[in-house]
Structure 1
Amino acid sequence: MSAAEKTVKEIQNQVVEEFSFFDEWDEKYAYLIELGKKLEILDPSHKTEEKKIKGCQSQVWLNSYLKDDKIYYQADSDAVIVKGLVSLLVRVFSGHPPAEVAQADIDFIDEIGLKQHLSPTRSNGLVSMLKQMKLDAVAFQALLQSKQ
């Protein structure tokens, strides 16, 4: 099964499995940083105030677009850990129908123990990123429904 055919839940399970290979949190942070380094470069034209996530201590930009009735995300951050976090979210949510993203339960963050290992400000930023991604999905879902 290709990545495009996997559900949001299946990709979350894959992320949980990957993080289970690491015993220590410093290893998990190193992996997060590595994931952030692999994040596709965000076009500078998307690094605008409008695309900036509110509620993040670091600067985080999120661009979303619709292609073939599926939502795709692109993101960047000026902080290495946050860039890793947003890269996970991009991976989990991109390439799915907006309705699936909008309705998805996000449990991989708790399952890998991320929430309790983030500072309160990073945790709030993560919630803000998730919220914006879901809002974008709802907006694209409404757009698709209006075209039917």
Structure 2
Amino acid sequence: MAEPMVTFRVPPVALFPLPAALAVAGLGLLGLAAEHHSAPVGSAGFYLVFLSVAILALTFLLRVQLSPAGVRIRAMGRNRLIGWPEVRAITAERQRRGGRQVTLWTASGPVRLPLPLGRGTWTEAAFVSGYHQIGQYWLAHRAPDQQLPAG
């Protein structure tokens, strides 16, 4: 039986607040521009509506998938696969802007995963669960001759 693929996505509750606020502001500016015949205000409103749709689309498409082949990162139209044999260690690193982020340490340098999220929209328990899930997947699929780091 094939091992199931694990997919991390942005939680639905995190998808909507910022784009919704931008869309409401943009629509408000469009309404104001229509009342006062103001092209600059209308342009700003259109820009905010467009920006909200773009943020929603990019966030909706963001994924980190675990499979026996490795970790696939899908973000902003890019698709990157990091094979399990390339991974030397997995850590949870603090970010400068708060929260934590899972980092894969490879021979070519660190790879920071955009998900699971370690702040705001996810609870600490959900982050820790995702972090451990990634670690367990790595332990099960790393190269047979690969040793765990000392320490």
Q: Structure 1-normalised TM-score?
A: 0.29
The structure carrying a bigger strand percent of its residues is 2
Q: Which has the higher helix share?
A: 1
| Structure with more contact order per residue of length (Cα contacts < 8 Å, sep ≥ 6) | 1
> What TM-score do the two structures reach when normalised by structure 2?
0.29
Structure number with larger C-alpha Rg: 2
